[in-house]
Amino acid sequence: MSNKPVALVTGAGQGIGSGIAIALAKNGFDIIGNDCVFDPENKQKGLFEVKERTEGLDAVFFPVHGDISSPTGHDNILEQSLSSFNEIDMLVNNAEIAPRERLDVLDTTMESFDRIMSVNTEGRFFLPRKLPGR
């Protein structure tokens, strides 16, 4: 690998996360791109489209499949990341989800609420605590 700083970007397969990964690559970072959707055959959309775009900017892009909603997911993401890079210089804890179905708050199910909280709150809170050297 190169001597560039390394950024781990969660939710790098789309939206703001892909934009952040590309901007960091333009600014001299190698990227560990994480997403819960992992389709190496799809180079038109998603993590592997972002991989091609960042590599076109002379950045190393390492795609990592994993779900930030659980401690097991955190371990998997970090294990894969650190197997390719010795350290992570920056965490962009971007992954977030919306409800699968938008309902009135009085009609929201516990399952929907729990899933949103596990990704958007717990994942963002607990993943950084597992980073080496913190």
Q: What is the CATH number of the domain that holds 93?
A: 3.40.50.720
Tally the domains of the chain: 1
Residues 53, 103: Cα–Cα separation, whole Å: 36
Coil, helix or strand for 35? strand
| 36, 42, 43, 47: CA torsion to nearest 10 | 0
Is residue 30 included in any domain, yes or no? yes
- What pLDDT score does 1 carry? 58
Mean pLDDT calculated for residue range 47-51: 97
pTM to 2 decimals?
0.91
| pLDDT class of 18 with cuts at 50, 70, 90 | very high
What proportion of the chain, given as a percentage, has pLDDT over 70? 99
Q: Which residues contact 69 (CB under 8 A, 6 or more apart)?
A: 115, 118, 119, 122, 123
Q: Which tokens hold the place of 130?
A: 């597992």
Mean pLDDT calculated for residue range 72-88: 93
| pLDDT class of 97 with cuts at 50, 70, 90 | confident
Using the predicted structure, report yes or no on whether residue 132 has a pLDDT greater than 90: no
Q: Which residue has the tokens 């971007």?
A: 94
Is residue 1 included in any domain, yes or no? no
Q: Which tokens hold the place of 90?
A: 């920056």
Range of the domain at 87: 6-130
Is residue 74 included in any domain, yes or no? yes
Q: Which of 76, 65, 94, 87 is nearest to 134 (CA)?
A: 87
- What pLDDT score does 40 carry? 85
Mean pLDDT calculated for residue range 43-64: 95
- What pLDDT score does 134 carry? 65
